[in-house]
Amino acid sequence: MATASDSKYKRTNTNGMQHQPLDVAIVGGGLVGSLLALHLGKKGHEVNLYEYREDIRTAELVIGRSINLALSARGRRALAEVGLEDALLNHGIPMSGRMLHDVNGKCKIVPYDANTNQCIYSVGRKHLNEVLLNAAEKYPNIHLHFNHKLVSANLDEGNLSMVDPVTKDVKSARADLIVGCDGAYSAVRKEIVKRPRYDFSQTYIEHGYLELCIPPTAGGEFAMPHNYLHIWPRGQFMMIALPNQDRTWTVTLFMPFKQFHSITDQGLLLDFFRQHFPDAIELIGRERLVKDFFKTKAQPLVMIKCRPYHIGAKALIIGDAAHAMVPFYGQGMNAGFEDCSVLTELFNQYGTDLTRILPEFSEKRWEDAHAICDLAMYNYIEMRDLVTKRSYLLRKKLDELLFWMMPNTWVPLYNSVSFSHMRYSKCIANRAWQDKILTRVLYGASIASVAAIGGLCYRHVTMGHLERLSTSILSTLQLLKPKASV
Q: What is the pLDDT of residues 9-59, one digit of tens each?
A: 455 555 556 679 999 999 999 999 999 999 999 999 999 999 999 999 998
Can you give the pLDDT at residue 463?
Answer: 53
- The tens digit of pLDDT for each residue in 231-249 reads 999 999 999 999 999 999 9
Q: Please state which of the ranges 117-131, 444-458, 464-478 shows the lowest mean pLDDT.
A: 464-478
Q: Which CATH number fits domain 23-382: 1.25.40.10, 3.50.50.60, 3.30.60.50, 3.40.50.720?
A: 3.50.50.60
pLDDT of amino acid 448 = 61
What pLDDT shows up at residue 209?
96
CB 32 within 8 A of CB 181: yes
Please give the average per-residue pLDDT across 342-347, as a whole number. 98
Domain ranges across the chain: 23-382
How far, in Å, CA of 356 to CA of 113, rounded? 39
205: exposed, middle or buried (C-beta count within 10 Å: 0-12, 13-18, 19+)?
Answer: middle
pLDDT band (50, 70, 90) for residue 110:
very high
Q: Which pLDDT value is given to residue 59?
A: 82
Enumerate residues 6+ apart whose C-beta is below 8 A from 280: 101, 214, 232, 239, 251, 273, 289
Mean pLDDT calculated for residue range 150-170: 95
Rounded mean pLDDT, 312-337? 96
pLDDT of residue 417: 96
Q: Count CA atoms within 13 Å of residue 27 on its CB side.
A: 37
Give the residue, 442 or 380, on which the prediction is more confident: 380
Q: Give the pLDDT score at 14.
A: 58
* pLDDT in the model for residue 485: 40
CA 301/CA 25 separation, integer angstroms: 28
Residue 158: what pLDDT? 96
207-214 and 249-256 strand pairing: antiparallel
- Measured CA to CA, the distance from residue 47 to residue 136 in angstroms comes to 10
| pLDDT at residue 384, rounded to an integer | 86
Banded pLDDT at 7 (limits 50, 70, 90):
very low
Confidence of residue 455 (pLDDT cuts 50, 70, 90): low
pTM listed for this prediction? 0.88
Distance CA 421, CA 212 (A): 33
* pLDDT higher than 60, residue 279: yes
Q: What is the pLDDT of residues 64-106, one digit of tens each?
A: 445 679 999 999 999 999 999 999 999 999 999 999 999 999 9
* pLDDT score, position 275: 97
Q: What percent of the chain has pLDDT over 90?
A: 77
Out of 172-181, 376-385, 427-436, the most confident range is 172-181
The mean of the pLDDT values for the chain is 89
Strands 107-111 and 149-154: unpaired
Q: What is the mean pLDDT of residues 201-216?
A: 96
What pLDDT sits at residue 304?
97
Bridge partners (DSSP) of residue 209 are 254, 299
> For position 164, what pLDDT does the model report?
95
Q: How confident is the model at residue 484 (pLDDT cuts 50, 70, 90)?
A: very low
Count other C-beta atoms under 10 Å from residue 5's C-beta: 9
pLDDT of 101: 97
pLDDT at position 4 is 44
